[in-house]
Structure 1
Amino acid sequence: MTVSTQKNANLQPKKSWGQALSAYKDKRALIMLFLGFSAGIPILLIFSSLSLWLREAGIERSTVTMFSWAALGYSFKFIWAPLIDVIPVPVLTKKLGKRRAWLLTAQCLIILAICIMASINPVNQSLGLMAMGAVLLGFSSATQDIVIDAYRIELADTSMQTILSATYNAGYRIGMIVAGAGALFLAEYFGSVKGAYLYDAWRNTYFIMAGVMGIGVATTLLIKEPVNNRPKIVQQSSDYMRLVAVFALSVIGFVLTFMGLGQILLETKNVLLGFLLETIHLIGSLGVAVAVGFSLVKMGLVKKEVAFVTWVEPILDFFKRYGKKAFLLLLLIGLYRISDIVAGVISNVFYEDMGFSKSDIATAVKTFGVLMVIVGGFVGGIVAQRFRIMQAMMIGGVLACLTNLMFVVLAMRGYDIPLMYTAVAIDNLASGLAGAVFIAFLSALTNIRFTAVQYAIFSSLMTLIPKVLGGYSGTIVDNLGYAWFFTFTTLIGLPILYLVYLVDKKVMLENKDEK
């Protein structure tokens, strides 16, 4: 969104509760429901469903867990998001438009990747080829996410973003259920169970999942291209190819460095030292990738002005629009979800330590909890329609912070099914609400000229610090116990409320006064 668009969003008059609820009747909400479903299918076909398939096939656990690296594309999608903004898809862009062309391309690649994986029996065929299929699935599904986020932001102004994000999240969760629980049910139905592996069952399951992606393809073909005001930057086809070449060579540099450092760096059981070594591992690999890209630009492989406009200008635009306030905004983006994300990292272990069975956890968290997140998202959409975006952010922040106190009570009480369901319900409702209003907030900060890259950066940043801190959750529990751990996750959320207040006062309301 442009600055003026953001100001207008901050000046939106309050709506009645009836008007807020009626916003869900907008057909654009239905579009995001189906696109969300398409986005929710691939992720679990890389994680839980694939892990169970490989374990049933007798693959070693250490090899199984390595396949999760195929999803690294989700964490680094901001690197190639600029290419989505500037490079057209041959033939398709002219026929469908920029967003729909990339969306259809990504979905076709997802289907291809799933079919490649389905065609490999891990018992007697190349795991390397299956790994290539998994990497392609991770890359293409992350690309689909980039395009859907850009499409959503360009589809409607800020006042509708919570509605669109709520329906997108509902579709996404439904897609995850289909690809997770649905895939496991199908594999068992076709005859593959623990101790009696049957390749045909998993092959048929993955082929069905590829067919389910047809819902996303049909949606892409039926919807309209949104309005995008970004001017055409790259004029010649050679410029496109050169940009892709720079990106590809930088990725190769990253992969080779990541593999090389992985063999050099020693393994350790010390949590802090292990985290430090992995940080060096990642930052070193990224540094090489950046150095390769910079060197190629200096050598003239791609025009400097093209590289600048593609990768640098979207970042500079954010700082030009907000000046010193940009750092305050980035701080809020990086910390807003810290309370519930850090607590969520160890939640399943917590339930098990409290004496709940796996079936208790599956029913309460994976089914009932998912429904509560969806409901929370819809409620968040209504709240954001009723109040200003920063008021809704404050409500979401307070709820996400204080609901952790329910887990303090559960930690002190121990095994208690009704209390567990109460805690799960309240926590997931708050998480869904906070997530919906936060997405609308991030969308308001995005300049529509650089939709894909700026939102990709924001969405990556919002989970980076919480996930890093979440890695220490086990150590904190070992030293303090669960009750004090959840007290800690409540307390670290309190300063975030002050950050919300500062951003509202220093950024949003000042924009209002300037108008």
Structure 2
Amino acid sequence: MNIKQNLINIWTHLANKRMLVCVFTGMASGMPLYVLFQYMPAWFRDEGIDLKTIGLMAFIQLPYVWKFVWAPAMDRFVLPFLGRRKGWLFVTQLAVAVMLAGLSFFTPNTGLTAIVVLCVGIAFFSASQDIVIDAYRRELLPDEELGLGSSFHVNAYRLSVLIPVTLGLTLADHFAWGLVHWVLAGFMVLAALVTIIIPEPEQTFATPVSIREATVGAFQEFFRRSGWKPALVILAFLFFYKLGDNFAVALSTPFYLDLGFTKTEIGTVAKFAGLWASIAGSIVGGFLMIPLGIYRSLWVFGVVQIVSILGFAWLARAGNDTTVLFWVISFEYIGVGLGTVALMAFMAKISNRQFTATQFALLSTLATLPRVLASASSGYLVEGLNEETAPWIETAFRWFHIPMEGFGWENYFYFSFFAAIPGMVMLFWVAPWNGDTSVLDKLGK
């Protein structure tokens, strides 16, 4: 009887329009990031740009880190069309489309500065879109659907890689890069049109009456809820939980190219692996989070996530083998997708609905910061230092006993594996297996 009732409950949550909306928001949110994170490095590498420059380009993603700065404005102000959340969502999506189209007028070798400016614009409006989407999803879903809704959102987010990478790189093998940029811009215009027809969440809380209330009030509520020590532990956990994973995937596309895979192979074999794995991860993650709950899911999914990193080291040793590439990417998409699902549900659960945009932006910023750090340093960790390296980078290498000549690909992925361990250890305080929050609460005393 319990099994039958659980199946009925699961089906009730699955068979509603809210899950379909979560799929849409995930696709719209993920595509601009994958343009910056995987499509742009492939474009640059194809044009002969070196790995260190590609790695440093990760700093264009800094708006994802600082988005909590302007998030209060999206809690405080309502645009005069479409509603409190949908209005901002529509504007940010159109802005990303314009910036993507603008890339078609430049090439990395002759217009790098202009491309960087446009990419910063894409990152800013994409990060702003994420602020709105996170708040929208938190306000749309009841608490019991946060895990499942996050599963649909995150896996759709990862599926969106198929647009800039699978479709984009395959088209780039046959057409000019500038034409591909226009195709990607078209997808963001389509997202803006879909935004018009999705429902606006029902508002059951008071809108902040000033920027000060939206900003200071949101931070005060978070840090006073159970004390400043638990708050700091939670923030540290959000930084470390996906640190190893972020290192592992920071230069994945250049890694595949260096192993000798063609852009078409990367766009088909590698990303097809991501397709089935993301679908499987969505189904498995969504079903498991209902009986496991958010805390235990962080443990179980985190273990799968950390083990999946070792697959990259296996691929580095195997070399140009499409079969190994397929299975490594499949496992990576399952592991990373599951870990992200649990983390997103955790952040949603601890966000106050009155300050959704601001608090969720702060929490997701801490989860995003390692991605920028990993991307910016990954090229140096793989290839090592040279005479043009900044002194502070050389000091960091000596401090952490990193070889000056670099790790090389295989050892770099072992480094990524060990970088994931601190986040798992912190689960003893943040998400005890038995669900007992007293361990975390005691930190505030």
Q: What is the CA–CA distance in structure 1 between the aligned matches of 2:52 and 2:431, rounded to whole Å?
A: 47
Letter in 1 for 2:75: D
**Contact kept? 2:154, 2:340, Cα under 8 Å:** no
Residue 157 of structure 1: how far off its partner (Å)? 2.6
2:78 matched to which residue of 1?
88
Q: What is the CA–CA distance in structure 2 between the aligned matches of 1:513 and 1:65, rounded to whole Å?
A: 37
Q: What is the CA–CA distance in structure 2 between the aligned matches of 1:146 and 1:512, rounded to whole Å?
A: 31
Is 1:99 aligned to 2:85, yes or no?
A: yes
Letter in 1 for 2:156: G
Residue 86 of structure 1: how far off its partner (Å)? 0.4
Q: What is the CA–CA distance in structure 2 between the aligned matches of 1:416 and 1:56, rounded to whole Å?
A: 21
Q: What is the CA–CA distance in structure 1 between the aligned matches of 2:314 and 2:158, rounded to whole Å?
A: 28
Residue 459 of structure 1: how far off its partner (Å)? 1.2
2:208 matched to which residue of 1?
233
- Partner residue of 2:424 out of 497, 501, 514: 497
- Partner residue of 1:427 out of 332, 341, 345: 332
Q: What is the CA–CA distance in structure 1 between the aligned matches of 2:44 and 2:251, rounded to whole Å?
A: 25
Q: What is the CA–CA distance in structure 1 between the aligned matches of 2:315 and 2:186, rounded to whole Å?
A: 43
Letter in 2 for 1:332: F
**Contact kept? 1:335, 1:466, Cα under 8 Å:** no
Structure 1 residue runs without a partner (length 5+): 1-12, 194-201, 235-305
Is 1:388 aligned to 2:378, yes or no?
A: no
The 5-angstrom pairing of residues 84-483 of structure 1 reads: 84-89=74-79, 91-92=80-81, 96-117=82-103, 120=105, 133-186=118-171, 192=176, 202=178, 205-234=180-209, 306-323=210-227, 324-345=229-250, 347=252, 361-407=266-312, 409=314, 417-465=322-370, 467-468=372-373, 471=377, 473-474=381-382, 476=402
Q: What is the CA–CA distance in structure 1 between the aligned matches of 2:316 and 2:112, rounded to whole Å?
A: 43
Residue 389 of structure 1: how far off its partner (Å)? 0.9
Shift in alpha-carbon separation, 1:104–1:382, aligned structure 2, 3 A: same
Q: Normalization by structure 2: what TM-score? A: 0.76
Letter in 2 for 1:192: A
CA shift digits 1:154-185 (9 cap, x unpaired): 11133322322232234334443223443455
Q: What is the CA–CA distance in structure 1 between the aligned matches of 2:212 and 2:366, rounded to whole Å?
A: 22
Shift in alpha-carbon separation, 1:497–1:188, aligned structure 2, 3 A: closer
Q: What is the CA–CA distance in structure 2 between the aligned matches of 1:62 and 1:479, rounded to whole Å?
A: 12
Shift in alpha-carbon separation, 1:372–1:449, aligned structure 2, 3 A: same
CA RMSD of aligned residues (A): 4.2
Structure 2 residue runs without a partner (length 5+): 385-401
Residue 443 of structure 1: how far off its partner (Å)? 0.7
Q: What is the CA–CA distance in structure 2 between the aligned matches of 1:159 and 1:512, rounded to whole Å?
A: 24
3-state SS in 2 of match to 1:76: helix
Is 1:23 aligned to 2:13, yes or no?
A: yes
CA shift digits 1:434-471 (9 cap, x unpaired): 11111101111111111111111111211324653672
**Contact kept? 1:343, 1:486, Cα under 8 Å:** yes
Q: What is the CA–CA distance in structure 2 between the aligned matches of 1:77 and 1:32, rounded to whole Å?
A: 21
**Contact kept? 2:295, 2:432, Cα under 8 Å:** no
2:390 matched to which residue of 1?
none
Which deviates more, 355-364 or 431-440? 355-364
Which deviates more, 63-72 or 397-406? 63-72
Residue 318 of structure 1: how far off its partner (Å)? 0.9
CA shift digits 1:315-359 (9 cap, x unpaired): 221111121221221222111112322233355566566676666
Q: What is the CA–CA distance in structure 2 between the aligned matches of 1:416 and 1:57, rounded to whole Å?
A: 25
Is 1:509 aligned to 2:436, yes or no?
A: yes
3-state SS in 1 of match to 2:190: helix
3-state SS in 2 of match to 1:322: coil
Shift in alpha-carbon separation, 1:88–1:62, aligned structure 2, 3 A: same
Shift in alpha-carbon separation, 1:318–1:462, aligned structure 2, 3 A: same
Query: Aligned pair count?
Result: 415
Percent identical: 27
Shift in alpha-carbon separation, 1:378–1:51, aligned structure 2, 3 A: same
Shift in alpha-carbon separation, 1:26–1:431, aligned structure 2, 3 A: same
Shift in alpha-carbon separation, 1:349–1:229, aligned structure 2, 3 A: same
Shift in alpha-carbon separation, 1:233–1:469, aligned structure 2, 3 A: closer
Q: What is the CA–CA distance in structure 2 between the aligned matches of 1:121 and 1:160, rounded to whole Å?
A: 44
Residue 484 of structure 1: how far off its partner (Å)? 5.5
**Contact kept? 1:14, 1:385, Cα under 8 Å:** no
Q: What is the CA–CA distance in structure 1 between the aligned matches of 2:304 and 2:37, rounded to whole Å?
A: 30
Which deviates more, 101-110 or 462-471? 462-471
